[in-house]
Amino acid sequence: MRRFMVLVALAAAVLAPAAPGGTAEISPLDPARYDLIDLTHPLNASTVFWPTSPGGFEMKRLAYGETPGGYFYSANSIATPEHGGTHLDAPIHFSESGRTVERVPLKQLVAAAVVLDVSVQAKANPDYRASIQDIRDFESHHGRIPAGAIALLRTGWSRRYPDRKSYLGDDTPNDASHLHFPSFGVEAARMLIVERKVAALGVDTASIDYGPSADFPVHRLASAHNIPGLENLSSLERLPPKGALVIALPIKIEGGSGAPIRAIALVEKRAAAGN
C-alpha cells in the first residue's frame, strides 16, 4: 500500500497546478529508481485496426536525403483512423454527451494502476469476460482498488499482436461478426466504474468489450460515465498488480472520438511483476 500511495502522490505532483506566484513545485522524482516500460505497439503497416475500418496507418515520405545546402533532411506525412493500434477511446465514442479527446482530464490519463490478471482464464477460453469474482480475488490479495486508479486487464493477448487472425480471432475483411478475444465483462466494468470509481479502463486486446459483443455494453457504460478506454496495450505482464504509474497521453485531437497514445508505465525497480 505504501508503494501505491507513493505513486498516487507522484501522479498528483505531476498534475499539480502552479503556485499563485507562478512557480510549480518540482516533484522529487529520481528516474534511476524506476523502470520505464513501454505499453505501446508501434504505428506501421502492420497496425491492427477494427475490421470495418476504411483504412489503416499510412506514412508517405515527403523528403529524405541531402539538401542543396549539404545537410541531411527527412520529413513524412501520416494518416490514420482514430481507432487502431494502441489508442484512446474518448467517451464520445459511445455517448453523444461524452467528452471528446481534448477534454479528457489529464488525471484520468496519468494515474496509479492496478493490473487484473485473467491470462489463465483467457488461455482456456478466448471469449472470457472478466467478472466481479476476478475483482474480488484481486482485492483479497492486494487490497481494495482505490478511486482514481487506472484499471488494466491483462489477458496475455498482446503476444499475438499483430497477427490479425490470432489476435482478433478472425481476419475476414470488413467483417467484425466473428471475432474472438477476451476483455471486461459488463458487471465487472460496472463494479470498477460505479463502485470503485476508477479513472480509466485499459486492456491488451482490441476492445474493452470482448470479441463476440455486438452491442458493446462496456463501451456504453464507460462512455456514459465519461470513463476513457485504453485499447491494444502491450507488455502488461511486466507490471506489478499494483504500484505502477501509467501515463497514457493521446494526440490532442479537438473533437476526436479517439486518438493514438504513447502509453508508458513507471515501476519502482524493487516492485517486480507479480509482487
Is 83 tagged catalytic? no
Digit-coded pLDDT (tens) for 81-111: 999 999 999 999 999 999 999 999 999 999 9
d(CA 72, CA 69): 9
d(CA 157, CA 272): 21
Q: Which domain holds residue 111?
A: 2-55+82-268
Residue 39 lies in a domain: yes
The per-residue pLDDT for 15 is: 47
Residue 7 lies in a domain: yes
Residue 71 lies in a domain: no
Q: Is the pLDDT of residue 74 over 90?
A: yes
Residue 113 lies in a domain: yes
- Residues near 130 by Cβ (< 8 Å), separated by ≥ 6? 116, 118, 153, 182, 183, 184, 185, 188
Task: Dig out the grid coordinates for 27 from the structure.
Answer: 516533484
Residue 91 lies in a domain: yes
Contact 119, 134 (CB under 8 A): no
Residue 24 lies in a domain: yes
**Total structural domains in the chain?**
1
Q: Exactly one of 41, 83, 93, 142 is catalytic; which is it?
A: 93
Residue 73 lies in a domain: no
Residue 8 maps to which CATH number?
A: 3.50.30.50
Digit-coded pLDDT (tens) for 134-147: 999 999 999 999 99
The per-residue pLDDT for 10 is: 56
The per-residue pLDDT for 25 is: 45
Residue 157 lies in a domain: yes
